[in-house]
Amino acid sequence: MANFQQPIIIKKVKKNKHAHHGGAWKIAYADFVTAMMAFFLLMWLINMTTAEQKQGLADYFSPPSISPATSGAGGVMGGVAMVSDGAAMSGSAADIVAQEAASPNQSTKGDADGDTGGQAKDNGSELQASSDSEFNLQSRDTQDFHSAAASIRQAWQSMPELTPFMDNLLVEETQEGLDIQIIDQQGRRMFPEGSKYPVEVTRAAIAAMAPVLQKLNSQLTVSGHTAAGSRYENPRYGAWELSADRANVVRSIMGEFGLSDDRVKSVIGRATDEPFFPNDPYMAANERVRITVLRTAPPVPAGLRP
């Protein structure tokens, strides 16, 4: 017989919820996104700067009073020593150099003989002074041309209308000085076909570099070049006339925007001579105007007034 008096037991299982973890992961994720944004911004800035600007930044942060030398054998300095010519401060005394005999059989020191004078002695000092002066002038010219090339590139990059035509504008430092070329590309002409007047974009590029070339205090040559295979309607007007006219128009535009006449040494037309691509004289890039800034000072010194 069943026991109906037995109590019924009901078990209720309570499920405990997980404890709240907080929002720390959100802060970590935000830091990660910020770091990635800063990284990509840094990559973009590095890509936008030119080699000259990178070199300028490196020179700015380099120590000015330490000169690297090859002395040393590793260790903390890593083979770099603070030599006297780089770490010397103003007012410090020069190093004392021991005087050795000029020859084993001679008791006099290696200094110049005090009895020797006249023209030979004077010429020696003048020769040294002339050599030092020439070296300083060459070093200064190199720095000026380097700065001018960087300034021209920066001026062009700051003009949005020139962005599609950056491959048409070339600036290169050579042994002669500074070589600037305005060349045609397939589908992007800097001069209308058969015309001596440039398009508006070319005129803007020429106007931007004229003040920079004026500051160089050097003479320049302007030469026009054409591609082979062009046809001209006028039998008396061909490649020679067109190339010369284009070079002269470029000179005129630079003069309009600040380049003085004494900076121009020659304006010539080369026609199809000296193509940019000698193996293919029919290429569009052979149609160009070349400006060569020479490493020679103009006949009239800068700042001279009548």
CATH code of 142-294, in short, is 3.30.1330.60
Range list of H helices, 81-227:
84-87, 119-157, 200-215
The confidence score (pLDDT) of residue 155 equals 94
Concatenated DSSP letters of 25-73: HHHHHHHHHHHHHHHHHHHHHHHHS-HHHHHHHHHHHS-TT----S-S-
Please tell me the pTM assigned to this model: 0.54
CA distance 216 to 226: 28
Residue 116: per-residue pLDDT: 44
Q: What pLDDT is attached to residue 214?
A: 94
The residues, any chain, with a CB within 8 Å of residue 120's CB and separated by 6 or more, are: none
What is the pLDDT at residue 58? Answer: 77
**Span 156-178, average pLDDT:** 92
What is the bridge-based pairing of β-strands 264-269 and 177-183? unpaired
Over residues 41-60, the mean pLDDT reads 80
pLDDT of residue 200: 95
State the pLDDT at residue 60.
73
Nearest to 180 by CA among 202, 160, 158, 198: 202
Q: Is 278 left (phi over 0), alpha (psi -120 to 50) or beta?
A: alpha
Query: Which residues is 220 bridged to in the sheet?
Result: 264, 293
Tokens representing 71? Answer: 């002395």
Q: What average pLDDT does range 199-226 have in this prediction?
A: 94
| Domain layout of the chain by residue ranges | 142-294
Quick count: other Cβ atoms within 10 Å of Cβ 270? 18
Cβ atoms of 166 and 185 closer than 8 Å:
no
What's the mean pLDDT when you consider all of the chain?
A: 77
pLDDT value of residue 223: 96
Q: Assign 304 a pLDDT band (cuts: 50, 70, 90).
A: low
Q: What is the pLDDT of residues 90-139, one digit of tens each?
A: 444 444 444 444 444 444 444 444 444 444 444 555 545 444 544 455 56
**Minimum mean pLDDT among 63-77, 147-161, 261-275: which range?**
63-77
The set of residues, in sequence order, having a beta carbon less than 8 Å from that of 291 and lying 6+ positions away, is 179, 180, 181, 182, 213, 220, 221, 222, 250
Percent of the chain at pLDDT exceeding 70 = 66
pLDDT of res. 241: 94
Distance set, CA 73 to CA 36, 63, 70, 80, 168 (Å):
41, 22, 9, 9, 50
List strands edge to edge, sheet with 220-225: 169-173, 177-183, 288-294, 220-225, 264-269
User: What stretch of H or E contains 241?
Assistant: helix 239-256
Q: What is the dihedral of CA 30, 34, 35, 37, to 10 degrees?
A: 140
Q: What is the pLDDT of residue 222?
A: 97
Strands 220-225, 264-269: parallel, antiparallel or unpaired by DSSP? parallel
How confident is the model at residue 138, as a pLDDT? 57
What is the rounded distance in angstroms from the CA atom of residue 248 to the CA atom of residue 293? 16
Q: SS3 of 281, please? A: coil
pLDDT > 90 in the chain, percent: 43
| pLDDT for the residue numbered 43 | 87
Q: 210 Cβ partners below 8 Å, 6+ apart?
A: 253, 254, 255, 256, 257, 258, 259
